């Protein structure tokens, strides 16, 4: 393969996963980064909490391992988690070398504590602007490098040759022109699918693109029933949900209901520092009990100086909307936040399609299991991006394509040939459907209704994809359908997946649900 449209690496996505991989890969071959919006528009820039790493004096990889396994609800891959915690320090060092300005205290990197971590191990930058600092730093470095960047271009199809990745079909969303690019390695780093939900902390680009691209290419998709809802997003009339970092509770913020009562001690011994899924469901229960659409986060017990220096973005955003959080309570409610499932990868980022890799939220490395430990996502991205580039260097020299073992118990999406809907597909309709039927609390009836509607919408949308908005909607419908069908199959509650009709965990379900397209 050769020519002006051939690249050793094509990377789809420009969050931390795509940019960090691009910076590592540039010395191993020529790189093309494709992103459907501006290079800086991604979920990474909105990440407030930080990046977890066992670098503190009272911390260790073993402690970090234990916390991650405990959060994962029995479904984390221990080998992948070992890799995560053992390679964390090197990944953080690389970010520092690239120029990420982590906050320091008395000459040492400052560390904070978040829910379900036994010790402080969260590095942050600019207080609560970690994601923005990482994104700005990496995007600047990529622009300064010789990396080719195509902005406002949407990946629409993975091109295969004898089952191996050979290239990518790309739509220029500004001109409508379609172009094909050849590559040796294709890395999907398109982020998650938070736009599936009515209330979300995610960027508008998070529409499940990577999952759908990989699924249509025959790759395995796993753990899609596990979607994390962040317990605390700002809930103000006319204001889009804005993340109120878990670190706010880590620093001592208290949750209160609309009647002014602290309630988390009624639900879990760790109270505000309980795992995210428990805090989110507790807030939902408290809202139902009080007949309100919100609870409050009280940080007035903290010093104003701590609030304004540790959480400058949150303080500033709330102040812009008439709320001084040093004096008043923060109205909050849960919102869709992070996709634990995704394109199934091994410990080197390889998928079941030779030449196809996945990184970041698009990938399911097995680290998070049923419930992501706070701030492990940015770390996971950097650790496994490094491993992807390492593996591709080996493959370039060996000239052999590897095929991963096929997973056990692979399932296909049911045909649902009689599926019908009284409504036409739309983003707003989809978001309400997923929020109400496949949200924080689930049941067989609600999820089956969603699955039937999504199947009908998929049929209506086939063949009419022509611009970014139509592709976004189509990708969200497919992603939502896989999620709904996976959640229907898992007849138990585990981690972020909670069913009213199966409220307990079952040992029989201590396994993964893997989907693959039935061609």
**Pairing relationship of beta strands 295-298 and 330-339 according to DSSP bridges:** antiparallel
The angle formed by the CA atoms of residues 405, 406 and 408, to the nearest 5 degrees, is: 120
On whether the CB atoms of residues 391 and 400 are closer than 8 A, the answer is: no
**Pairing relationship of beta strands 148-150 and 153-161 according to DSSP bridges:** unpaired
Half-sphere CA count of 137, side-chain side, radius 13 A: 20
DSSP states of 4-20 as a string? TTEEEEEEE--SHHHHH
C-alpha–C-alpha distance, residues 153 and 147, integer Å? 16
**Pairing relationship of beta strands 51-52 and 122-123 according to DSSP bridges:** antiparallel
**Pairing relationship of beta strands 153-161 and 164-172 according to DSSP bridges:** antiparallel
| DSSP E strands, 13-163 | 31-34, 51-52, 104-105, 108-109, 111-112, 122-123, 148-150, 153-161
Would residue 276 show up in a list of annotated catalytic residues for this protein? Answer: yes
Strand order in the sheet with 330-339: 227-234, 330-339, 295-298, 254-256
DSSP states of 437-474 as a string? HSSSSB-HHHHHHHHHHHHHHHHHHTT---SHHHHHHH
Our measurement of the distance from residue 198's CA atom to the centroid of its chain's CA atoms, rounded to an integer in Å, reads: 16
On whether the CB atoms of residues 434 and 196 are closer than 8 A, the answer is: yes
What would the 3-class secondary structure string for 16-50 be?
Answer: HHHHHHHHHHCCCCCEEEECCCCCCCCCHHHCCCC
Task: Count CB neighbours of 3 within 10 A.
Answer: 7
Half-sphere CA count of 246, side-chain side, radius 13 A: 35
Buried b / exposed e along 82-112 (16+ C-beta atoms within 10 A): bbbbebbeebbebbeeeebebbeeeeebbbb
On whether the CB atoms of residues 338 and 192 are closer than 8 A, the answer is: yes
Of 249, 276, 281, 442, which is the active-site residue?
Answer: 276
Catalytic residues: 276
């Amino acid at each position: 393969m050769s020519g002006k449209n051939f690249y050793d690496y094509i990377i789809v996505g420009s969050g931390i996963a795509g940019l960090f991989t691009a910076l590592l890969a540039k010395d191993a071959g020529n790189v093309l980064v494709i992103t459907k919006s501006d290079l800086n528009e991604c979920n990474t820039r909105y990440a407030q909490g930080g990046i977890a790493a066992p670098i503190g004096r009272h911390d260790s990889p073993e402690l970090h391992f234990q916390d991650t396994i405990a959060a994962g609800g029995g479904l984390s891959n221990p080998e992948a988690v070992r890799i995560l915690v053992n390679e964390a320090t090197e990944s953080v060092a690389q970010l520092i070398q690239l120029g990420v300005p982590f906050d320091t205290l008395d000459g040492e990197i400052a560390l904070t504590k978040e829910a379900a971590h036994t010790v402080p191990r969260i590095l942050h930058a600019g207080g609560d602007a970690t994601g923005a600092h990482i994104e700005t730093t990496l995007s600047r470095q990529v622009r300064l490098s010789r990396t080719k960047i195509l902005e406002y271009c949407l990946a629409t199809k993975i091109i295969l040759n004898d089952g191996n990745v050979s290239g990518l079909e790309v739509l220029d969303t500004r001109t409508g022109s379609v172009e094909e690019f050849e590559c040796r390695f294709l890395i999907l780093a398109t982020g998650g699918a938070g736009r599936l939900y009515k209330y979300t902390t995610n960027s508008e680009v998070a529409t499940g693109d990577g999952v759908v691209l990989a699924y249509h290419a025959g790759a395995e998709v796993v753990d899609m029933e596990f979607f994390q809802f962040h317990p605390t997003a700002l809930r103000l009339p006319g204001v889009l949900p804005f993340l109120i970092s878990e670190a706010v509770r880590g620093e001592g913020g208290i949750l209160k209901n609309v009647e002014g009562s602290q309630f988390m001690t009624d639900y879990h011994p760790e109270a505000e520092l309980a795992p995210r899924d428990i805090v989110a469901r507790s807030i939902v229960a408290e809202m139902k009990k009080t007949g309100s659409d919100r609870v409050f986060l009280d940080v007035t017990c903290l010093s104003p100086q701590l609030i304004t220096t540790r959480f400058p973005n949150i303080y500033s955003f709330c102040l812009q909307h008439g709320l001084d959080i040093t004096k008043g309570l923060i109205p909050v409610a849960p919102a869709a936040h992070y996709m634990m499932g995704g394109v199934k990868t091994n410990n080197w980022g390889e998928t079941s399609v030779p030449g196809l890799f996945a990184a970041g939220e698009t990938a399911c490395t097995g680290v998070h299991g049923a419930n992501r430990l706070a701030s492990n996502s940015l770390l996971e991205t950097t650790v496994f991006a490094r491993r992807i580039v390492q593996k591709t260097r080996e493959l370039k020299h060996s000239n052999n394509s590897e095929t991963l073992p096929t997973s056990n118990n692979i399932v296909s999406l049911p045909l649902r040939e009689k599926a019908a809907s009284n409504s036409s597909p739309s983003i707003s309709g989809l978001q309400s459907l997923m929020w109400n039927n496949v949200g924080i609390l689930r049941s067989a009836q609600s999820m089956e209704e969603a699955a039937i509607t999504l199947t009908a919408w998929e049929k209506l949308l086939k063949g009419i994809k022509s611009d970014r908005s139509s592709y976004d909607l189509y990708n969200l419908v497919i992603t939502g359908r896989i999620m709904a069908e996976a959640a229907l199959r898992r007849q138990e509650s585990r981690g972020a997946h909670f069913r009213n009709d199966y409220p307990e965990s079952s040992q029989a379900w201590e396994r993964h649900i893997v989907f693959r397209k039935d061609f």
